[in-house]
Amino acid sequence: MNVLETRLVDLHLIEPRRFGDHRGFFAETWNRRAFEAEGIVIDWVQDNHSLSATPGTLRGLHFQAPPHAQAKLVRCGRGRLFDVVVDLRGGSPTYGQWEGFELSAENGRQLLIPAGFAHGFVTREADTEIVYKCSDYYAPETEGAVAWDDPAIGIDWGLEGTDPILSDKDRAAPRLSDIEMPFIYEEATP
């Protein structure tokens, strides 16, 4: 497993090792000992799996606030998507900044997203599946969203002038400046 730092503080891109032959491949996507050896200690409590039938389906930017904030380990099980993360932690050196990554069944990459970040994605292929682990259970009373097109964040979703397919919830999400932010950045101690 290769754990890569990203531009956003505490966000990691993970490249699991793949072993392939004429039949296909095998990859270990989660191993507690291997992650702990990298300093990543998270107790996953829930797995989620989502299918988006149409390319251009945009889901996000979502988060869960304390006391049920969620870290996520995200990967693409089928198809291809552009995954976006925004730092929502007040006081973070990368607060309000975004970073995006192509995740696909072919490249096998994963994102380790800490609590305190908004997460979303747009599909690039039909029947794209996203699979992810969560560190806390779904708690609808704590869920929130940030507008996918907030100009203060300025995400380039790569939509090339086409309108994304959105849920009513995502269409109505507030801008970052209109949210009372529940997350505070805590610098890791060595």
Exactly one of 12, 95, 119, 132 is catalytic; which is it?
132
Exactly one of 22, 62, 119, 137 is catalytic; which is it?
62
Distance CA 159, CA 162 (A): 5
For 35-102, the DSSP string reads HHHTT------EEEEEEE-STTBEEEEEEE-TTS---EEEEEEESEEEEEEEE--BT-TTTT-EEEEE
Active site residue 95: no
39 Rama class: left (phi>0) / alpha (psi -120 to 50) / beta = left
DSSP letter assigned to residue 140: G
Active site residue 62: yes
| Residues in the chain, overall count | 190
Secondary structure percentages of the chain, helix, strand, coil, to 5? 10, 40, 50
Residues taking part in catalysis: 62, 132
